[in-house]
Structure 1
Amino acid sequence: MFKNFLELASHPTSIFALLGIAILLFALFRIKKIQLTPKLITHMGLMISLAFILHQIRIYHMPQGGSITLGSMVPLLFLAFCYGPGIGFLAGFLYGVINLLFNPYILHPVQVLFDYPLPYMAIGLAGYFPNRLFLSTTLAIIGRFICHFISGIVFFASYAPEGTSPYFYAFIFNASYLFPELIITLILLKLLPLKNLMQQAK
């Protein structure tokens, strides 16, 4: 029995399932401290809805999921900048669930975890550095990239061309849409009167 447990625990899917659960528990700990006011709920609803609408304006759609959008991460980043990482995690989780309902691509429960709630919860990381635009946005997108990368190497390795490393394939595949997404997001954040909007939101 112990041997079977060790074999199960050493399987990549089990390891990443435990990792995903640990991340969710950490985020839940932060979210439990949040006091939801009518104003905050309204702002979250508006920003999550806007993120979903912008996600539908796709500049390019990848064959196995993922797309370059017209700045769909900007509203989620805005929430993280205004209210901190806890609200960013919560908004990302809710957005990920909505995205799963409307744009499902399901291979495995753990794959769902790393392709939907977790990568968008990672956008909340921007809330740790609200005054450092480039750093916070890049950190958030890298967090999202890591989640999709893990999903890619564990669950999408079979899509890699023959002779291609699954790690290299997952890296190139996810970087090919998330790097342009990062550039578009940074440009939009630079163009927007972000400080004024944040002051008005508060």
Structure 2
Amino acid sequence: MLNVFVVPNGDGSYALSTGGYIAAAVVVFLILILASTLTQSKKPIDTRELTFAAVAIALTIITSFIKLWHMPMGGSITLFSMLFITLIGYWYGPSFGILTGVAYGLLQLIIDPYILSVPQLLIDYPLSFGALGLSGFFSKKKNGLVLGYLTGVLGRYFFAVISGVVFFGLYAADFGMSPLPYSLLYNGMYIGGEAAITVVVLLIPSVSKALDRLKLQALA
């Protein structure tokens, strides 16, 4: 059954087949509809939220290609690509943010797939990027944007570390390390590096004020 959705690359990994691309696209669409339904259960579907989520996903895709530093075995410091999904969570709450992140993760699977197994696919794509929506738990807190962003990034880091230990731990021996320290260090270098740059930018008063005004528009 799995062969309908993936095809082997010859190196132990898999790529999406035509059926896989179609299935992923359908799931992305259904996730966005579900996200809107969950967050708008007592009023009509708000197209503003869907629009902002779609724009955030588009910006995340675009900035994910702008790599400031690329790690040798996957992972990059990009131009604030993790920020846009966390903004959706911060504005509209964790449910919508997480589902928007899951939708982006599936799109990332379509754009740049690396598949070893179903568990690895789930951890590296929908779960890892969905965790960025945890920012929504800080929407009403002081300094909520920075705290929410860091929480979302830590969520993604958590899943990246699990993936590194379980599915890519064999590379640790090349550096004389055990899988867990290797995964913590490797994933921390690019995820932590991008987070540090982004937080510095978010703390610039003019940037913070601009994002506050954008939030007002998003919630109007």
Give TM-score scaled by structure 2 length.
0.74
| 1:171 counterpart = 2:184 | yes
Shift, 1:166, TM fit? 0.6
- Structure number with greater CO (CA < 8 Å, separation at least 6) is 1
CA distance in structure 2 between the aligned counterparts of 1:138 and 1:199, rounded to whole angstroms? 22
Task: Write the deviation string for residues 95-131 of structure 1: whole angstroms up to 9, x where unpaired.
Answer: 1001111111211111111111111111111110123
CA distance in structure 1 between the aligned counterparts of 2:126 and 2:201, rounded to whole angstroms? 24
| 1:143 counterpart = 2:155 | yes
Shift, 1:168, TM fit? 0.8
SS at match of 2:80: coil
Q: Matched residue pairs, number?
A: 175
Aligned-partner residue type, residue 124 of structure 1: G
CA distance in structure 1 between the aligned counterparts of 2:197 and 2:107, rounded to whole angstroms? 23
SS at match of 1:106: coil
Shift, 1:69, TM fit? 0.3
Q: Given the alignment, which residue of 41, 44, 51 partners 1:42?
A: 51
The question of whether the paired residues in 2 share the 8 Å contact of 1:66 and 1:174 is answered with: yes
| 1:200 counterpart = 2:217 | yes
Aligned residue number for residue 200 of structure 2: 187
Shift, 1:134, TM fit? 3.0
CA-atom RMSD, angstroms?
A: 1.9
Q: Given the alignment, which residue of 60, 72, 77 partners 1:51?
A: 60
Shift, 1:64, TM fit? 2.3
Aligned residue number for residue 64 of structure 1: 73
| 1:33 counterpart = 2:50 | no
Aligned residue number for residue 113 of structure 1: 122
Which shows bigger deviation, 142-151 or 73-82?
Answer: 73-82
- Using the aligned pairs only, state the percent identity: 39
Which shows bigger deviation, 133-142 or 110-119?
Answer: 133-142
Shift, 1:188, TM fit? 3.1
Aligned residue number for residue 10 of structure 2: none
Which shows bigger deviation, 81-90 or 180-189?
Answer: 180-189
Task: Write the deviation string for residues 137-193 of structure 1: whole angstroms up to 9, x where unpaired.
Answer: 211111100101001100001111344111111111100101111112213333422
SS at match of 2:173: coil
Shift, 1:79, TM fit? 0.7
SS at match of 2:203: helix
The question of whether the paired residues in 2 share the 8 Å contact of 1:71 and 1:188 is answered with: no
Aligned residue number for residue 155 of structure 1: 167
Shift, 1:74, TM fit? 1.5
Aligned-partner residue type, residue 158 of structure 1: L
Aligned residue number for residue 108 of structure 2: 99
Aligned-partner residue type, residue 74 of structure 1: L
The question of whether the paired residues in 1 share the 8 Å contact of 2:48 and 2:218 is answered with: no
Aligned-partner residue type, residue 65 of structure 1: G
The question of whether the paired residues in 2 share the 8 Å contact of 1:66 and 1:177 is answered with: yes
